[in-house]
Amino acid sequence: MPAGQAALASGMDLMKPLIALLAIVNPIGAVPFFIHFTQGLDGMQRRRTMRVSAFSAFMVIAVSALAGQKIIAFFGISIASFQVGGGMLLLLSSLQMLHAQPAESKPGDVRGGVAKRDAGASFAVVPLTIPLLTGPATISTMVIYAQRTRHWWELGMLVGYGVAVGVAVYLAFAAAGRITRLLGSTGIDIMTRLMGLILAAVAVEIMADGLVALFPVLASVKPLAG
């Protein structure tokens, strides 16, 4: 193989983790959920949510690359268990969205004012970042690529890709304000319910994959005929 083609192939191999991460995290796809979770928050709280979510996404990717396998082994959990737990969190969020309820507080909560001040930071991590943006697929992907590294600078590149993903998350959420103004309150309610239905389906798929991995016998169970 000519030197030029070999260098191009090597460069593409180095970029594969970043391409995979951007496809899995999909910051644009998470914008409707960001709009839902930040309803009723002021500009400062929204910006804080954006910063916390972007930084959290970076941290999940960086920690998964550097110590993901050791952390999972230390707690004695598997990716399959993480999938089931993450799927349950998503399902709870989807039920809230199907009723177009604001995520930051419950109706009639006397502590709503206090909760609202901290809401951006709270749901910026769970469930917005984990597991919506960086779930089991992201963690397992980083663990796999980290296992393939042979030099410290390759691990450094994986951490650098986490920075790139964090920036992409921040930029995508920064566009949410324009989308909100375009849709209006009615459009946001419709989009929230639609995305809640989609999120419920995604949650069931994630839990199903985890349950099949935990209990392989489920894979042989045939669905009931209609």
Q: List the chain domain ranges.
A: 14-105+119-216
Q: In 3-state terms, the chain is what percent helix, strand and coil (to 5)? A: 85, 0, 15
Residue range 116-127: average pLDDT?
69
What are the tens digits of pLDDT across the range 62-99? Answer: 999 999 878 877 888 787 887 788 788 778 878 877 87
In contact, 116 and 49? CB cutoff 8 Å: no
Question: Could you read off the pLDDT of 140-153 as tens digits, one per residue?
Answer: 888 878 877 888 89
Q: What is the mean pLDDT of residues 56-60?
A: 95
pLDDT at residue 14, as a whole number: 72
CA distances (Å), origin 9, targets 12, 147, 161, 172, 190: 5, 20, 19, 30, 45
Residues near 69 by beta carbon (within 8 Å), at least 6 away in sequence: 143, 146, 147
Decide which of 117 and 78 is more confident.
78
**From the CA atom positions of the chain, what is the Rg in Å?**
19
Of 98-107, 134-143, 180-189, least confident by mean pLDDT is 98-107
Give the pair of three-digit tokens for residue 105. Answer: 């507080």
- The per-residue pLDDT for 2 is 60
What tokens appear for 73 in the block? 């082994």
Judge if pTM exceeds 0.85.
Answer: no
Q: Tell me, what's the pLDDT at 223?
A: 63
CB atoms under 10 Å from CB of 187, counted, come to 12
Nearest to 54 by CA among 28, 72, 27, 85: 27
Distance between CA 152 and CA 50 in Å, rounded? 30
Task: Kindly state the average pLDDT of the residues 22-35.
Answer: 86
- What's the confidence (pLDDT) of residue 145? 86
